[in-house]
C-alpha cells in the first residue's frame, strides 16, 4: 500500500480544484439583487448576464427580490449555497444599510466575497414638470418658502435615493417629506403622475424620462457633471458645496465559494465589462463601467461603509 505524500496530496487537491473551476458552470447561474425590474441594478444585470450566458453556455437568470431597501435580497443571497451559482449584485444601499439599520439578517463584509466593482453612476435630482422650479437654487428657495409642502420619493427607506434626499435637506436646511416605495419604478409612476414632486434616482433608470421631457433634471449628485447629461449641473456647483452621493453596483458571491470559481467569475465578468458594445450601451445610459480587482473592490466596500456612516449620522436618519 502506497502512502500519499503531502506534496502529492497538494497536487491532487489543486488538480481537483482546477477541474471544478473548468467544469463550472454545469447548470444555470443566478444573479440576485434586492431591487425590481426596471431599476438601474436590473438594467445593468440583464446586459451583463446576457453576455456571461454566452460565455458560459448556460442561462444566467435574473432574480429580482425587492423589499426592505434591498436588504431582503441581500439576506437571501447571503444564505445561498457557496457554489458560484448565486452571484449577488450589491449596491450603495448595502454600504448605507450597515450603519442605517441597527439590526440586519446578514453581515455585508463577512457574508460575501467581493468579485468586482461593476459600475458607478451618479444620481439625478429630477422633478415633475408641475413643480415650479427649474434648478437647485430655485428649489431651495421654494422649499424654504413652503416648508413641508414638497415631497420626494425613494425606492425604499435606507436606499441611496432616500438618504440623498435626507442629505440634501441637511445641507440646505429645507423641510421636505419623504415618500418611500417598494422600488424606484413605482416612484417613477407617481413622479410622472404628479403624486410626488421630486426624486433622486440613478441616472441609468431616469435617463429615458429625462430625454423624453417627462421630468426635469435639476442636477446630478456626482462631483463632476455626467458625460451623458453634460448640460445638467452638479448639486455642488448649484450652490450646495461639498454635496456628493454616487451610486454603484458590484458583484459578490457568498463567502466560502471556491477561489477558483470566484476567480473565473471575476475574469469573465471583467472581460464582459470591457466589451465595446456593452460599454457603449450602458455608457449611453450614464453608467461608468469599472471591472477592478477583488482586492480593490474589497477596499471600495470598506471606504463606502465609512463614508455613508458619516452621512447617516449627519442626516440623523435611522431605519429602525
Phi and psi for 226 in degrees, rounded to 5?
-80, 135
Would residue 106 count as lying in a domain?
Answer: yes
Of the residues 211, 238, 265, which one is the last residue of a structural domain? 238
Q: Please state whether the peptide bond connecting residue 25 to the residue before it is cis, i.e. omega within 30 degrees of 0.
A: yes
**CA gap 7, 13 in Å, rounded:** 10
Per residue in 205-216, pLDDT (tens digit) is: 899 999 999 999
- pLDDT exceeds cutoff 70 at 292: yes
Residue 85 sits in the same domain as residue 224: no
Average pLDDT over residues 26-47: 95
Q: What is the pLDDT of residue 179?
A: 96
Give the SS3 label for residue 254: strand
Residue 228 sits in the same domain as residue 291: no
Would residue 258 count as lying in a domain?
Answer: yes
Would residue 114 count as lying in a domain?
Answer: yes
Per residue in 76-107, pLDDT (tens digit) is: 999 999 999 999 999 999 999 999 998 999 99
Residue 64 sits in the same domain as residue 158: no
- pLDDT exceeds cutoff 60 at 8: no
Residue 251 sits in the same domain as residue 115: yes
* % of the chain at pLDDT higher than 70: 93
**CA gap 168, 174 in Å, rounded:** 8
Residue 103 sits in the same domain as residue 187: no
Would residue 53 count as lying in a domain?
Answer: yes
Residue 202 sits in the same domain as residue 168: yes
Of the residues 238, 264, 296, which one is the last residue of a structural domain? 238
User: Three-state secondary structure along 22-59?
Assistant: HHCCCCCEEEEECCCCCCHHHHHHHHHHHHHHHHHCCC
- pLDDT exceeds cutoff 70 at 19: no
Q: Where are the beta strands (DSSP E) in the chain?
A: 29-33, 60-64, 86-91, 112-127, 151-154, 177-180, 198-202, 216-220, 246-254, 288-289
Would residue 202 count as lying in a domain?
Answer: yes
Of the residues 197, 214, 238, which one is the last residue of a structural domain? 238
Q: The domain that contains 170 carries what CATH number? A: 3.40.190.10
Residue 84 sits in the same domain as residue 140: no
Average pLDDT over residues 185-193: 95
Residue 183 sits in the same domain as residue 199: yes
- Give the Cβ contact number of residue 277 at 10 Å: 9
**What sign does the dihedral 234-204-180-49 (CA atoms) show?**
negative
Residue 172 sits in the same domain as residue 231: yes
Per residue in 229-286, pLDDT (tens digit) is: 999 999 999 999 999 888 899 999 999 999 999 999 999 999 999 999 999 999 988 8
**CA gap 114, 68 in Å, rounded:** 22
Q: Identify the domain containing residue 141 by its residue range.
A: 122-238
Would residue 197 count as lying in a domain?
Answer: yes
Domains identified in the chain, total number: 2
Per residue in 38-87, pLDDT (tens digit) is: 888 999 999 999 999 999 999 999 999 998 888 999 999 999 999 999 99
- Give the Cβ contact number of residue 129 at 10 Å: 12
User: pTM score, two decimals?
Assistant: 0.79
Would residue 68 count as lying in a domain?
Answer: yes
Residue 59 sits in the same domain as residue 113: yes
**CA gap 252, 247 in Å, rounded:** 16
Q: What is the pLDDT of residue 15?
A: 47
Q: Residue 20 — very low, low, confident or very high, per pLDDT cuts 50/70/90?
A: low
DSSP letter (8 states) at residue 4: P
- pLDDT exceeds cutoff 60 at 127: yes
Average pLDDT over residues 139-167: 92
**CA gap 138, 194 in Å, rounded:** 19
Name the nearest CA neighbour of 306 among 74, 69, 99: 99
Q: The domain that contains 304 carries what CATH number? A: 3.40.190.150
Would residue 16 count as lying in a domain?
Answer: no
Mean pLDDT of the chain: 91
| CA 248 to chain CA centroid, nearest Å | 4
**Which residues, other chains included, contact 310 with Cβ-Cβ below 8 Å and sequence gap of 6+?**
none
Amino acid at each position: 500500500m502506497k502512502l500519499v505524500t503531502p506534496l502529492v496530496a497538494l497536487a491532487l487537491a489543486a488538480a481537483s480544484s482546477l477541474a471544478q473551476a473548468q467544469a463550472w458552470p454545469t447548470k444555470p447561474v443566478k444573479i440576485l439583487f434586492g431591487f425590481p425590474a426596471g431599476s438601474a441594478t436590473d438594467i445593468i444585470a440583464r446586459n451583463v448576464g446576457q453576455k456571461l450566458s454566452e460565455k458560459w453556455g448556460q442561462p444566467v437568470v435574473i432574480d429580482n427580490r425587492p423589499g426592505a431597501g434591498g436588504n431582503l435580497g441581500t439576506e437571501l443571497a447571503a444564505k445561498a449555497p457557496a457554489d458560484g451559482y448565486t452571484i449577488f449584485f450589491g449596491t450603495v444601499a448595502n454600504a448605507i444599510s450597515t450603519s442605517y439599520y441597527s439590526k440586519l439578517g446578514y453581515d455585508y463584509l463577512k457574508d460575501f466575497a467581493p468579485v468586482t466593482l461593476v459600475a458607478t453612476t451618479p444620481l439625478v435630482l429630477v422633478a415633475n414638470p408641475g413643480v415650479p422650479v427649474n434648478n437647485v437654487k430655485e428649489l431651495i428657495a421654494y422649499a424654504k418658502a413652503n416648508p413641508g409642502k414638497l415631497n420626494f420619493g425613494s425606492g425604499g427607506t435606507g436606499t441611496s435615493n432616500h438618504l440623498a434626499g435626507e442629505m440634501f435637506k441637511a445641507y440646505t436646511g429645507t423641510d421636505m417629506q419623504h415618500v418611500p416605495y417598494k422600488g424606484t419604478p413605482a416612484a417613477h409612476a407617481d413622479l410622472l403622475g404628479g403624486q410626488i414632486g421630486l426624486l433622486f434616482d440613478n441616472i441609468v433608470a431616469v435617463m429615458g424620462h429625462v430625454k423624453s421631457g417627462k421630468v426635469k433634471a435639476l442636477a446630478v449628485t456626482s462631483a463632476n457633471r455626467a458625460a451623458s447629461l453634460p448640460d445638467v449641473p452638479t448639486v455642488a456647483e448649484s450652490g450646495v458645496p461639498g454635496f456628493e452621493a454616487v451610486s454603484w453596483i458590484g458583484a459578490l458571491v457568498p463567502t466560502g465559494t471556491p477561489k477558483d470559481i470566484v476567480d473565473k467569475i471575476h475574469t469573465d465578468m471583467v472581460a464582459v465589462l470591457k466589451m465595446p458594445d456593452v460599454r457603449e450601451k450602458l455608457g449611453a445610459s450614464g453608467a461608468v463601467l469599472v471591472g477592478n480587482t477583488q482586492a480593490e473592490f474589497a477596499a471600495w466596500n470598506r471606504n463606502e461603509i465609512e463614508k455613508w456612516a458619516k452621512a447617516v449620522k449627519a442626516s440623523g436618519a435611522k431605519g429602525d
